[in-house]
Amino acid sequence: MKSPDRASIRSALAVSLRVAGALLMLCIAHPEAAESQRQARPNAEEAERAIQQLRSPYCPGLMLEVCPSATAAALRDSIYDLAAEGATSEELMDWMLARHGEEWRGVPESSGRGLLAWLIPPLALLLGAGAVFGWLRANREDATLPGGEEVGGITDADRDRIAAALREWEASGGEEA
């Protein structure tokens, strides 16, 4: 078997660089083309609002707006077409959910049973934080000094000693020792 010479290696490298450059140009130009196409569609804002709130029936775990499958792209195009006919985002979501099922709703409704999805997590966090705070407060140990005296508890004898020390300090002119 004959080993490749330098000219053929350089030629193959040049072709590879050209292909990589062309692919890079396609990747850079593609988002701009998609954005200009969206802007040209009438009522695109309603369609995008609906698409952002739906999960993809073709890519489990992904939202419809980021699903890369061709069938998801066709579904997005159908939603854009219905929006161009004047449908609102709520109507578009209802249309998609009627065809594919309620389980593809990406954002819970703000009424009825969907309201529980908005209320239960913050309530659970508040109750959990309250339970932890209560447990810590109930199980804290009171700090005591080596002589058995409580920290923060000033007795009458302590007050007398502090008052005597202050009088002595003031009598000496209030200078630092």
Query: What length does the chain have?
Result: 177
Q: Name the more confident of 69 and 118.
A: 69
Predicted pLDDT at 112: 72
Cβ atoms of residues 24 and 41 within 8 Å: no
User: Taking all residues of the chain, what is their mean pLDDT, rounded to a whole number?
Assistant: 79
Average pLDDT over residues 120-125: 89
Q: Name the more confident of 26 and 125.
A: 125
Task: With cut-offs at 50, 70 and 90, classify the pLDDT of residue 142.
Answer: low
Count other C-beta atoms under 10 Å from residue 96's C-beta. Answer: 22
Cβ atoms of residues 62 and 55 within 8 Å: yes
Model confidence at 136: pLDDT above 80: yes
Q: Name the more confident of 76 and 102.
A: 76
Q: Name the more confident of 176 and 133.
A: 133
Predicted pLDDT at 28: 56
Model confidence at 13: pLDDT above 70: no
Element (H, E) at 68: none
